Amino acid sequence: MIDYQALLVTLGLLLCIVALTTLAAIANKIYSNREEASKRSFLDRLRKNFLLLKTGIPDDRSEGMRQIVRALSGRWSEMAAEEVSQLELALRLEVIRSLEEAGVVARYLRDARSPMKWTRAHALRILGELKVPSSVPTLLKALEDRDSDVRNVAARSLGRMKLQAAEEALVELLGKHDQAVSARIAAICIEMGPRTAPLLIRTLREGTPKARFWAARILGEIKDARATRSLGDALTDKDADVRSAAVWALGMIADRASAALVEPLLQDSVWYVRAHAAEALGRIGDPNAVQPLAEALKDRSWWVRKNALDALVRLGEPAKPVLLRTLNGEDRFARDCAVEALMTLGMPLPETAVSDGGGS
């Protein structure tokens, strides 16, 4: 028997939930629209104040600067700092000087040491956008912050500054922090591009194992050919991670002359070094690597075989004769890889290979 009273109560509750959800969505939409309108209005006023600085009229310039300083202390201070960062150099330096005179920069330097996590992060973001050289020590210290979010913000801010001192400091910090912060520092160095290459090459030669690893990875990402010699030297590093990163980086740079340096690492004692060596030879594209890669199809590691297979496919036509000979070899895995490679290259298989089911 249906309990209508309970049913009515349940329906009433559902209607209340729907009504409350709808009201919440409407309220959120209104709030979001107001926020966007407030931001647009703020940016319009700020940009008008920037224009006042260019008029040459003392009273207009004074009022414009006063409003800009005020904007850097208000609700939308991060947005204001981003706008300041995009000003032409002379005007930006003038604004920063006024911010320093008004004590705004000093306040953010103090906030960067606040016990409140988000206060520290907010201050570090603004200091990074303003690119004040005197804030570099504070940002560097923040890389040691107890909170990972704050450390990431500090690393990003140092990258945003694009100052030589910041670049040197960031490279020196490679490998000194946890994985997340080190990866963030590496990403910033990659964004900076080739201008960090000399610092990274020095780190590859003189740094700690972790620092050498990150330096090699970054050099590979930015594909700077100046690093080829140093990366070649790093192929004999005692640390397997460094050898792995160096051989991967040489593959990314893809200088044909480095193939002879990479080839011996197909015999490395560590499987992932051999795997990256096979991958690198495919990227470098030297036909002389075909036979060593064919031998790597017999490797005990699946990843090495897979990378050697992909490298031979990438090499294309020069690999076909060696792959055909591999079909008659004793190693079953090598035969299977050869069949797959030849099929990928669009080459008809010998009848024996087909009848044997790919050599299995």
Q: Is pLDDT above 90 for 273?
A: yes
Q: Which domains does the chain have, with CATH numbers?
A: 256-360 (1.25.10.10)
- Cβ burial of 356 (10 Å; 0-12, 13-18, 19+) is middle
Q: Is pLDDT above 70 for 62?
A: yes
> What's the chain look like in SS3?
CCCHHHHHHHHHHHHHHHHHHHHHHHHHHHHHHHHHHHHHHHHHHHHHHHHHCCCCCHHHHHHHHHHHHHHCCCCCHHHHHHHHHCCCHHHHHHHHHHHHHCCHHHHHHHHCCCCCHHHHHHHHHHHHHHCCHHHHHHHHHHCCCCCHHHHHHHHHHHHHHCCHHHHHHHHHCCCCCCHHHHHHHHHHHHHHHHHHHHHHHHHHHHCCHHHHHHHHHHHHHHCCHHHHHHHHHHCCCCCHHHHHHHHHHHHHHCCHHHHHHHHHHHHCCCHHHHHHHHHHHHHHCCHHHHHHHHHHCCCCCHHHHHHHHHHHHHHCHHHHHHHHHHCCCCCHHHHHHHHHHHHHCCCCCCHHHHHCCCCC
In percent, how much of the chain has pLDDT > 90? 25
Residue pLDDT, tens place only, 299-309: 889 899 889 98
Q: Is pLDDT above 70 for 3?
A: no
- Residue type, position 302, single letter: W
pLDDT, position 166:
66
pLDDT, position 253:
93
pLDDT, position 355:
44
> In terms of pLDDT, which residue wins out, 181 or 60?
60
Give the pLDDT mean for 262-269. Answer: 94
* Least trusted range by pLDDT, from 79-83, 136-140, 215-219, 307-311: 136-140
pLDDT, position 358:
45
> In terms of pLDDT, which residue wins out, 355 or 114?
114
| pTM, rounded to two decimals | 0.60
* Least trusted range by pLDDT, from 23-32, 139-148, 166-175, 319-328: 166-175
